[in-house]
Amino acid sequence: MAERVLRLRRRYVGVTPYPDGVSLEDAWLRIYEVFRDLYGLMGVVASGLKRVKVGGSLVIACYHDWVPELVGVLTLVNEIGGRPVSLDIYKISGTIKGVVGEE
Amino acid sequence: MRAGYVDLWVAGELAIIQRLKTLGYSHCAITGDHDGLEELRARADEIGVRVVGKNVLEAYSRGDVLNRVKERPRHTLVSIVPMTREALMVAVRDERVDTVIVHGEIAEIDRHVIQVLQNPLELTLNTVLKVMGDLKALRKIVGVCKTSIVRELPLVISSGASNATGLRKPRQLAYLAAALAGTDGPCLETVSETPLSILHRRRFTYG
């Protein structure tokens, strides 16, 4: 009989760069870089960090107990491609629909 | 219902105050030249953000701290950056000091400091960004965050922003201490109740 696999709950964080005009791909790469600097490769794996491609929005996913760390990283991102930028979180939700609907 | 969010360290520019309003702040403390403070305060009132002045002063000894706070201007917050343990011990208990700035070379916040601590510690986002490349300093900052959360010490988190891109939403700043300390967050009192109590105490004292 197959063992039940633990299903970890995910949270989806909707992010908007400020000011406008920043590439979402560049923003995601910078977030990944800062996360890996702070928490290492095992942190990236343990947190389940990934980008969810939903239309024109930047949505980052992680497991529910890594939300403080992800928000901390998003707060610490202060430049993308040499340009001063801040990342505003507009929604944290347990579903993608909950995040995309809010934007 | 929460009374409002406070950013206790920003530069005195109108663009910053407009962005603070957009992000949901109700109060802020501005550093720098206070000559145009009254005019800026009037413009900020129209925008919907209450502004107070703030002086950030370095201190290397007990005498330094006492001299710096002796001539504090009215309606202005005073924050001390303690560069030695002696200055830290005096700054955390002097009631004329509003906040004690945490930095990468601050002396250890041990049980002796905690025993006499009366004033809130203040950590800025700017400071955390500066120490990111320095393990020793980052370790100190993380230690202060952990101690403050575990011992329930009064802690304020501000942005230390010199331009609009240095600002963050209140909840994001509140998550910063939790993320560094490895606890569940956010610590909303660090951007709301604690800084508001400092502002209310000064307004109450000076009328």
For residue range B32-67, what is the model confidence (pLDDT) as tens digits?
A: 877 788 888 999 999 999 999 999 999 999 999 999
Which whole number is the average pLDDT over A40-57?
Answer: 93
Which whole number is the average pLDDT over B144-159?
Answer: 94
Q: What is the pLDDT of residue B204?
A: 45
User: Per-residue pLDDT tens for A72-95?
Assistant: 999 999 999 999 999 999 999 999
Among candidates A27, A25, A52, A86, which has minimal Cα distance to B165?
Answer: A86
A33 has a chain B CB within 8 A of its CB: no
- Give the amino acid at A79: E
- Contact between chains at A89 and B132 (C-beta distance less than 8 A): no
Which of B132, B164, B176 lies at the smallest CB-CB distance from A75?
B176
Distance in Å, alpha carbon of B100 to nearest chain A alpha carbon: 22
Q: For residue B159, name the pLDDT band (cuts at 50, 70, 90).
A: very high
Assigned token pair, B110? 């041990």
Beta bridge partners of B29: B52
In the predicted model, what is the mean pLDDT of chain B? 91
3-state secondary structure chain A: CCCCCCCCCEEEEEEEEECCCCCHHHHHHHHHHHHHHHHHHHHHHHHCCEEEEECCEEEEEEEHHHHHHHHHHHHHCCEECCEECEEEEEEEECCHHHHHCCC
Q: For residue B193, name the pLDDT band (cuts at 50, 70, 90).
A: very high
Query: ∠ at Cα A92 (B183, A58), nearest 5°?
Result: 115
CB pairs under 8 A between A and B: 55
B18 has a chain A CB within 8 A of its CB: no
- Contact between chains at A84 and B163 (C-beta distance less than 8 A): yes
Q: What percent of chain A has pLDDT over 90?
A: 81
Assigned token pair, B105? 């070379």
Q: What is the pLDDT of residue A2?
A: 58
